[in-house]
Amino acid sequence: MDLRQGIGLRRLGTTADEFQQDLLSSLYYRRGTTVESASPRDAYEALALTVRDRLAERRARTAAAHFASNPRWVYYLSAEYLLGAQLEQNLLYSGTGELASQSLKVLGRTLEEIEDLDVEPGLGNGGLGRLAACLVDAMATRDIPAVGYGIRYDFGIFRQSLEGGAQAERPDDWAFQGNPWEFPAPDDRQTVGFYGHTEPVPGSPTRKSWVPGEIVLGEPSHMLVPGYRTETVNIVRLWRARGSEASFDLSRFSAGQYAEAVQEAVRAENISKVLYPDDSTELGRELRLKQQYFLVSCSLRDIIRRFRLRNEGWDDFAEKTVIQLNDTHPTIAIPELMRLLVDEYGLDWDKAWSITRSTFAYTCHTLLPEALETWPVPLFERLLPRHLEIIYLINMFFLREVEARFPGDSDRLRRMSIIGEGSERRVRMAHLAVVGTEAVNGVAELHSKLLRETVLQDFADLWPAKFQNVTNGVSPRRFMKLANPRLSDLITEGLGDDGWLNDLDRLAGLERLAGDASFMERWRAVKRANKVDLAAGDPDSLTDVMIKRFHEYKRQQLKLLHVITMYHRIRANPAGDWVPRTVLFAGKAAPAYHAAKNIIRLINAVGATIAADPVVAPHLRVVFAENYNVTLAERIIPAADLSEQISLAGKEASGTGNMKLALNGAITIGTLDGANIEIRARVGEENFFLFGLDAFQAAEVQISGYHPREHYDRDAELKAAIDAITAGTFGGVGREVADSLLGWDEYLTLADYRSYLDCQEEVERAWRDPERWTRLSILNTAHSGFFSADRTIADYAARIWRVAPVPVPKDI
Ligand code: 26V
């Protein structure tokens, strides 16, 4: 296509009149209703479609430009996306916020009430899923040709509520009333096989044919991913499982066997029914492996289809394609691409392997051994028989390579094998991911280093150049401009323009305002107004937030011991000069993770005891905000004074909430873990509250034999805090929490307690001096520009992907 001839698309209007016309057209033609009878939902849908059209127009130009340039593509494969609410984002990215507010008057509605109807698709668990969303946002903003592939779960991450202070879970039927943001593309559906057996192909030693025992359809729909202040609009393509026509048994239905008639279709559709609330221990679930292969199989065929639009043969495939694996969840893509190339397209093994290896890259997001995925060999064999054979072959060739480099080192062979031996006959997905990719990266400096030096050390010995670091980042558009308009306006004023939203290093220009009295005053006023909006507690109190998934390694229990100690101190000295604090927790625990759920119950029990205590309540308040999600994060983060990042050093791969909070002027209290280290290095030691063991010391303590009771016996306040739990001060709740802390304390909570409490006193000294605190706050924002996802994408592009931007011309 010759782009100079344009794409034959009439431009949508940009005036208030034209926008209102289009809004009415959407209402009449696409909702099929009228102004008089339009429900709030009709108004919402009509507005969403009108805004979507503006992006779809840019999407068409993007697709034309990409087609014309036949670029190298980035395909991001992720089982999770936490995209956040779409309406506000798309108003911002299409520059139609003001038009929308004006036009809605014709329907007698306000934008605020309409925004309340916009449900966020919660298609992810936490950091990993939100990172995927921030990265696709930044890829579009940086004009990188990219598609994000994922699963369109019918039910996202469960909705959390508190019942009697305990977590209760309800299903998240997020698209129950439809989702105006997606485009179904049934013509691009794919067929996916499961189970069955393999048969030899005569005359070929490596080629096999797989005869699946079950066939499922994958139907894609896509959501638009606009870049900010650029023409580019990329997509995420999400697959939904369907039974084929043949899966409905008409004769059974006619015979009144209704359940049996649809059982095959139901079985198929269950594959994309629900997001697994991982972080739990119930691994080895067949349906989850099915989800993973379903995502991979559909996406790879779609990638090949797209490659074929402009290319022939296979010679250029790896040149035109890079597939980024977001953790090990999509790692079956490696044997799947081998299967497609060898069995279906007839390439020889070596050629197929060289293409495969140079197509994929792998991001690891954890260090926790229990979070490294493995699958039982028998399950694999039953569900994906051909893939298991391919994995055995990959492993055989790989182990030969190891043997050649380290002759006779059978221990090393056993350690590195893709298949765990002996009682543990499991496929180790992380090993497969390292062997089958060109690059492996961790998500923060420390994490990448620990990967090289511990869990993946043998692999780093073999292929040192394969290992990279790409520190995570977050979207400044969503987590500053959208979440915190007041602060964003103030920053824009301070810096003279709002170019910083696409070039976050420019925040450094705030440094010269960190001592400017009137700027400081306004900075404080913004924070206060955000706290008033949040309405979680006294806006003049220190708002101390810990918002993240509940996990013992993240140590919400350490924060709780601090809260209990404050409670004791205030009770002992009611007339003391206490810094008023609002301690805000939010986060979900995996439904099967009892230890984490016990911590939630204990937080609420402690909170209730404090609220009922007239002596303590004026100084200390504990709030648990239910159902933490992206939307709630956008409300809490702008109101935070203190950011709790207190994981045991060496356990949190990166963290990204830490970055969002720092960018919004919260000051971090944290350990030397994950990206905290890089935050501290940038904002400066004096602007970061550091405590606790480092990763090396933590490992030493664990190796030399750790006895939590020694800390308990030695520290009277710590003892009092734990004794209060066991003595029933909080209604008898939390005894299991106390038992685990005293019994083994896997994450060294007690070892870090005193250092944490001392550090909190430092925090209070700083807080008592509002000038100092405000300066700290401004400097945190000023020096956190590095944590933009735009920088993360620039790093991926340079170190791993070797891709260049493809700008989309405005005038086609
Ligand atoms: C999974 C599991 C499963 C088994 C039980 C324990 C457990 C704990 C954690 C996980 C999640 C692993 C993947 C993940 O979400 N990692 C997060 O990725 C973020 C983005 O890179 C990063 O900021 C977080 O530090 C990291 O925990």
For 293-304, the pLDDT digits (tens) are 999 999 999 999
Secondary structure letter of residue 474 according to DSSP: B
Cα gap 126→82, rounded to integer Å:
8
What pLDDT score does 519 carry?
98
- Ligand 1 residue neighbourhood (C-beta within 6 Å): 126-128, 131, 278-279, 281, 327, 365-366, 368, 370-371, 443, 472, 551, 652-656, 674
Summarize pLDDT for 233-254 with one digit per residue, the tens. Answer: 999 999 999 998 889 999 999 9
Confidence of residue 283 (pLDDT cuts 50, 70, 90): low
Catalytic residue flag (residue 548) = yes
For 612-715, where are the alpha helices, taking DSSP H only? Answer: 630-636, 657-663, 676-683, 695-703, 708-714
Categorize the per-residue pLDDT at 284 as very low, low, confident or very high, splitting at 50, 70 and 90.
low
pLDDT of residue 232: 98
660 among known catalytic residues:
yes
Quote the pLDDT of residue 517: 98
Q: 237 - beta bridge partners?
A: 149, 222
Asked whether residue 6 carries a pLDDT value surpassing 90, the answer given is: no
Phi and psi at residue 240, to the nearest 5°: -125, 135
Residues 6+ apart with CB under 8 A from 362: 324, 325, 328, 331, 433, 434, 437, 439, 440, 441
> Which residue puts its alpha carbon closest to atom 6 of ligand 1?
279
Which residues lie across from 214 on neighbouring strands? Answer: 194
Does the fold of domain 476-693+752-787 match that of domain 70-85+120-471?
Answer: yes
Name the percent of the chain lying above pLDDT 70.
Answer: 99
Mutate to test the pocket of ligand 1, among 276, 278, 363, 795 (most ligand atoms within 8 A of CB): 278
Question: What is the model's pLDDT at position 178?
Answer: 96
Rg of the chain (C-alpha set): 27
Nearest residue (CA) to ligand 1, atom 1: 279
For the chain, the farthest-separated pair of C-alpha atoms sits apart, in whole angstroms, at: 90
pLDDT at 281: 52
Q: Whole-model pTM?
A: 0.98
| Nearest alpha-carbon partner for 301 in 386, 224, 188 | 188
If you average pLDDT over residues 442-459, what whole number do you get? 98
Q: Determine the pLDDT at residue 575.
A: 97
Q: Would you place residue 10 in the very low, low, confident or very high pLDDT band (cuts 50, 70, 90)?
A: confident
Please give the pLDDT value at position 811: 84
Q: Measured from the CA of 674, which atom of ligand 1 is nearest?
A: 25
In terms of Cα–Cα distance, which of 111, 103, 96, 87 is closest to 20? 103
Task: Quote the ligand 1 centre to 551 CA distance (angstroms).
Answer: 10
Give the per-residue pLDDT at 605: 98
Q: Return the minimum-mean-pLDDT range out of 219-228, 271-280, 657-666.
A: 271-280
Share of the chain above pLDDT 90, in %: 95
* CATH 3.30.830.10 is the classification of domain 70-85+120-471: no
Of the residues 386, 548, 601, 775, which is catalytic? Answer: 548
State which ligand 1 atom lies nearest to the alpha carbon of 590.
5
- Is 365 annotated as catalytic? yes
Checking if the pLDDT of 418 tops 90, the result is: yes
What's the CA gap between 812 and 809, in Å, rounded?
A: 6
Q: Hey, whose CA ends up nearest to atom 18 of ligand 1?
A: 128
pLDDT class of 370 with cuts at 50, 70, 90: confident
Q: Angle CA(283)–CA(369)–CA(737) in degrees, nearest 5?
A: 80
> Is pLDDT above 90 for 194?
yes
Q: Are 695 and 446 in contact (CB under 8 A)?
A: yes
Nearest Cα residue to 230 out of 662, 657, 812, 808: 808
Kindly give the residue spans of alpha helices, DSSP state H, lying in 496-641. 517-534, 556-572, 594-611, 630-636
Helix (H, G, I), strand (E, B) or coil at 160: strand
CA of residue 610 relative to chain centroid, distance? 34
How far apart (Å, rounded) are the C-alpha atoms in residues 749 and 751? 5
Helix (H) or strand (E) holding 197: strand 197-200
Instruction: Fill in the DSSP letter of residue 482.
Output: I
| Ligand 1 centroid distance, CA of 291 (Å) | 19
767-786 per-position pLDDT tens digit = 999 999 999 999 999 999 99
Spatial separation of the C-alpha atoms in residues 385 and 377, rounded to whole Å: 10
Q: What is the arithmetic mean of pLDDT over 206-212?
A: 96
Q: Which residues contact 780 (CB under 8 A, 6 or more apart)?
A: 662, 663, 665, 666, 667, 668, 683, 687
Q: Find the catalytic residue in 554, 562, 621, 783.
A: 554
Domain boundaries, the chain: 1-69+87-119, 70-85+120-471, 476-693+752-787
* For ligand 1, mutation pick of 325, 366, 447, 588 (most atoms within 8 Å of CB): 366
232, 471, 582, 656: the catalytic one is: 656
User: Contact 596/551 with Cβ under 8 angstroms?
Assistant: yes
Pick the CATH number of 476-693+752-787 from 3.40.50.2000, 3.40.718.10, 3.30.830.10, 3.40.190.10: 3.40.50.2000
HSE value, Cβ hemisphere, 13 Å, CA-based, for 527:
27
> Residue 252: its pLDDT value, please?
96
Owner of token pair 């606009």: 226
| pLDDT 10s digits, 259-281 | 999 999 999 999 999 999 765 55
How many helices, marked H, and strands, marked E, lie in the chain?
A: 33, 24
Ligand 1: distance of its center to the CA of 279 in Å? 7
CA distances in angstroms from 287 to 267, 275, 380, 473, 699, listed in the order given? 10, 11, 12, 32, 36
The pLDDT score that the predictor gives to residue 534 is 98
| Nearest-angstrom CA–CA distance, 340 and 304 | 10
Model pLDDT for residues 682-694, shown as the tens digit of each residue: 999 999 999 999 9
